[in-house]
Chain A
Amino acid sequence: MTPILSAANVSKHYGAIRAVDDVSFTVAPGEIFGVIGPNGSGKTTLFNCVLGQIRPDGGRVAFQDRDITGAGPLALSRLGIGRTFQSLQVFGGLTVRDNVIAAAQEHRGTLWSRLFAAPEIGLGAKADETLALFELAPHAGKLAGGLSYGQQKLLDMAMAFMADPALVMLDEPAAGVNPRLIEMIRQLLQRLNRERGTTFVVIEHNMDFVMALCQRIMVLAEGRVLAVGTPAEIRSNPAVLEAYLGA
């Protein structure tokens, strides 16, 4: 089967520092793929190379056989790659419902047809369904900027799923979130994975969360791939233990 996302020999250097050094991996459709590593291991740089925020110095990135190396964020989102950011990123001046509609509206029609489209552009039902799924329905009419941190985090995630993306890249979804909400996020992601077949790539610090969520995990250290395997394999890998505990 063709991988949904593949990276081949991706490198990014800052002067003499090899932030990402010859990293290759593939993600199969329907998989939940985790990327972990100590601070400064190059996770975020790799993420940014894949998502077009920065251009890699070498290597190729492909999405469903299409070369996306160096493609910008707009092109990637149009292809159907959803993402969340490390920090909160919602539209604070719009209502919660408008936030999720805004997240999907640009996939409907053309720029000009949207000018004359109905305000909800046929996304009303889908918005309500998504908000219900993320337990945000009671807040639909509120301004997103007025929500609590946890609610904004959920909204942020809900927005990434509104356009039915084939692949969603999550940058530290559990950061700064209380344990109850972490558990809820994990269950939600697994449910979306099961029911819609959405593929995930997750960068995360929280080990328990990654181990419980992901089917396969890649460990980065000093910009290089240290190990790839199932959570059980990673947990018992001596090199990984050393990278985390020895350093």
Chain B
Amino acid sequence: MFADLAQLTISGLATGAIYALAAMGFTLLWQTSSTINFAQGEFVMVPAFIMLGFLGIGMPLIFAFALTLAASALIFGVGFKRAVVDPMIRHGVLPLAIAAMALSLALQQGVKLVFGAEARSVPDILPDGVTRIVGVAVSYRDVGVLVISFVLILGLQLFLARTLTGRAMQASAQNPDGARVLGINVDRMILYTFLANAALASIAALLVTPIYLAKFDLGGPLGLKAFCAAIIGGFNQMHGALAGGLLIGVIENLTGAYFAPQYKDAAALVLFVIVILFKPEGLFGRREERRV
């Protein structure tokens, strides 16, 4: 009984850490450029297929991933900012969000057009196998995912808090006018957050697709959970996204095992609705005043 629970919790944490990666990117974009990226799930799905493309021409996994990272930084970092966000942002938050929805539709259908509707398997960078720790079966894969995600998230936090560029990025997010006065190139800082988001999403793709397979409609549920994680944790707090992601991963797993497997996907949503109804600023977020 305890062993089952612990096992489910650990694998839930691993899935949740992947949600957290996508959720962090989501939060970053919102903070720096008021972008509600409805295509966040597709930002994970498309790199998986780009990587499959590189693997298909016989490239080793590590090179394929490096090239994928570069390609998605170009497409979903620079390209997305310049072609969609920059022209749309002056029209307001909502039109931009709707444009992102249109983009998600185009990406989904585009991948379906090129690669077809079948799910494809993706090679795993993490080792197979299980070890037993005090009677609890722990897979190497889950541990690997957790370690990679935590290192990335902590690294990003440290970068934002400790380095000059990181602080300039935070300043640009919190007070763009003030940052400009201080001589910070706000536009460039915003671009950096887009690049960071693209990188986080690509790494999430690398971690998630070996288990869940690469499919054109993978992005929908993933993006939804990333958003739920960001809201549950608190949209204006980076560590909130991490906590929200982990929480969703665990609750989802427990719901699937003990309550109703067919409603596993609903767990995140129910939690999300409860949070926005009773604590809209999120579990760890600061309250924002409703402005006139």
Contact = CB atoms under 8 A, between A and B. Distances in A.
Interface of A: 85, 87, 89
B164 interface: no
B1 interface: no
A190 B292 CA distance: 28
A87 B292 CA distance: 9
Contacts of A87: 292
A150 B44 CA distance: 50
3 contacts: A85-B292, A87-B292, A89-B292
Contacts of B292: 85, 87, 89
Nearest to A89: B292
Majority-rule SS of B interface residues: loop
Interface in B277-292: 292
Interface residues on B, range: under 10
B260 to A, nearest CB: 41
Among all A-B residue pairs, the 3 with the closest Cβ atoms: A85-B292, A87-B292, A89-B292
A85 B292 CA distance: 9
A34 to B, nearest CB: 23
A87 B291 CA distance: 12
Contacts of A85: 292
A133 to B, nearest CB: 26
B291 to A, nearest CB: 10
A230 to B, nearest CB: 33
Nearest to A87: B292
A31 B292 CA distance: 29
A191 B253 CA distance: 70
A176 to B, nearest CB: 16
B290 to A, nearest CB: 10
B94 to A, nearest CB: 14
A74 to B, nearest CB: 15
Nearest to A86: B292
A205 to B, nearest CB: 19
A17 to B, nearest CB: 17
A61 to B, nearest CB: 21
A89 B292 CA distance: 9
Interface string B252-275: 000000000000000000000000
B4 to A, nearest CB: 49
Contacts of A89: 292
Nearest to A85: B292
A184 B292 CA distance: 27
B150 to A, nearest CB: 37
A191 B292 CA distance: 30
A145 to B, nearest CB: 13
A85 B291 CA distance: 12
A247 B35 CA distance: 44
A49 to B, nearest CB: 16
A89 B291 CA distance: 12
Nearest to A53: B292
B73 to A, nearest CB: 39
B149 to A, nearest CB: 38
B211 to A, nearest CB: 48
Interface in B57-74: none
A152 to B, nearest CB: 15
B146 to A, nearest CB: 41
B270 to A, nearest CB: 31
B90 to A, nearest CB: 15
B95 to A, nearest CB: 14
B279 to A, nearest CB: 20
Interface in B110-148: none
A2 to B, nearest CB: 32
B137 to A, nearest CB: 52
B230 to A, nearest CB: 29
B17 to A, nearest CB: 38
A164 B292 CA distance: 24
A216 to B, nearest CB: 28
